[in-house]
Structure 1
């Protein structure tokens, strides 16, 4: 076999790439409902397990918190540590306290809007409260009234860093030992706060159950000009 008779083997030439049809991009108006649903689902997950926004409906925590402020509440913190005196907590008053700012009865649509608003801190439930923890389980909390300091286990609290200007620690006299699993809470605006002092006729003497605590308020996020962290004060 001569060289001319040999079969010449060559590499196959690569096939030309197939032209894929260009994927049409959806108009924004078609993607918008999907984005809204995803945003709502994320908000629900975050609210359920980590952080929830609340708005301040009354002046009971002035001047620390103003009416209309939006605060973020840490819902995880009390899984890693105990509730401490001085913490600002949001809790449910269901089954005991009457709501401070009950919403009007506007029917199913109004209820749905309040529910969605609650996910973003635009509307609270009718039984949501925000107060400062003064006594934890086992504490003996008392005040002689008339401008006297609040005593916890016989020691006076220094409340000057958060008490509303011109307010006495308590105009009312009280003396209570906080039961197990419960808290004694008070607002910073003592002259305008329907707190534990005003629920002493309740079966648990004005204390609230720890299991009703949603979490600790740790930062004001709105208005932007008033944004600040809410540190635990030294009392």
Structure 2
């Protein structure tokens, strides 16, 4: 009986040690990932339906804070330019400095440097909502932006009509959208942009949001599991004593 008691005690001490370690590791993962995410990401509310179906009016998105010089074609960016309005807007980068942009090429598609873009993210999965515009060269240090809902988007095409290049400075970019956080029906990472891979510079890789979410979930599981160990052990010990 005495040996059994000492064995139970040793197992209990080891269990408590492991439980404490699990809670400590869980706190590091949970808090570390949460704080890192708060530094890297910022939530935004999408103001219009111009990016439907990628993101819709009223969606809450998580966007990674980046420098405008790191933006590539295909990125969905949050930007603010006084010539476009007084609130942050969300559009997709179609062209960068030096690109020649026009519409429409083969199949009614936007062309970049003469090559028609394949844009499966467009509303209704096709280019039928495109409106023609003459070829324009994107100035260095600027971005040509279009909405995915081409029939309902005030974007670089509108500013072309006003007599400028239609582009915004890279410095106007605040963040790159990685995921939809709300509503739950649209929850998830944005699909990687396609159609730009053949162009110089390729496309951007998603930020570390998926890794951060995994770390937060793993940390929560470790914290709850470690915290539950003590009560479960005491209950099991009490049951054994009654028997």
Classify 1:200/1:50 alpha carbon distance in 2 versus 1 (closer, same or farther; 3 Å). same
Q: Would the aligned equivalents of 2:45 and 2:58 in 1 still touch at CA under 8 Å?
A: yes
| Residue of structure 1 in register with 2:16 after alignment | none
Cα RMSD (Å): 2.6
- Measured against aligned partners, the alpha-carbon deviations of 1:134-170 in whole angstroms (never above 9, x if no partner) come to 00111111113896211101111001x2000165262
Q: 2:165 corresponds to which residue?
A: 205
TM-score of the superposition, structure 1-length normalised?
0.62
Match of 1:156 among 110, 113, 116: 116
Larger helix proportion, structure 1 or 2?
2
Instruction: Tell me which of the two structures has the higher relative contact order, counting C-alpha pairs closer than 8 angstroms and 6 or more residues apart.
Output: 2
2:72 is the alignment partner of 1:72:
no
Residue pair 2:62, 2:178 contacting (<8 A) in 1 also:
yes
* 2:179 aligned residue: 219
Matches within 5 A, 1:1-235: 49-76=39-66, 78=67, 82-94=70-82, 96-98=83-85, 126-144=86-104, 148-159=108-119, 161-165=120-124, 168=128, 170-202=130-162, 204-235=164-195
Gapped regions of structure 1 (runs ≥ 5)? 1-41, 99-125
Match in the other structure for 2:229? none
Q: How far apart are the structure 1 equivalents of 2:105 and 2:55? A: 24
Q: Is the 8 A contact 1:62 1:188 kept in 2?
A: yes
Q: Which structure 2 segments of 5+ residues have no match?
A: 1-33, 196-243
Q: Give the drift of 1:189.
A: 0.3
Change (3 A) 1:146 1:172: farther
Shift in Å at residue 217 of structure 1? 0.3
Q: Report SS of the residue matched to 1:200.
A: helix
> Could you tell me whether the CA contact under 8 Å between 2:108 and 2:127 is conserved in 1?
no
Question: For 1:180 and 1:90, how far apart are their aligned partners in 2?
Answer: 20
Alpha-carbon distance in structure 1 between the residues aligned to 2:140 and 2:192: 22
**Alpha carbons 2:48, 2:57 under 8 Å: kept:** yes
Cα distance in 1 for partners of 2:134, 2:42 equals 33
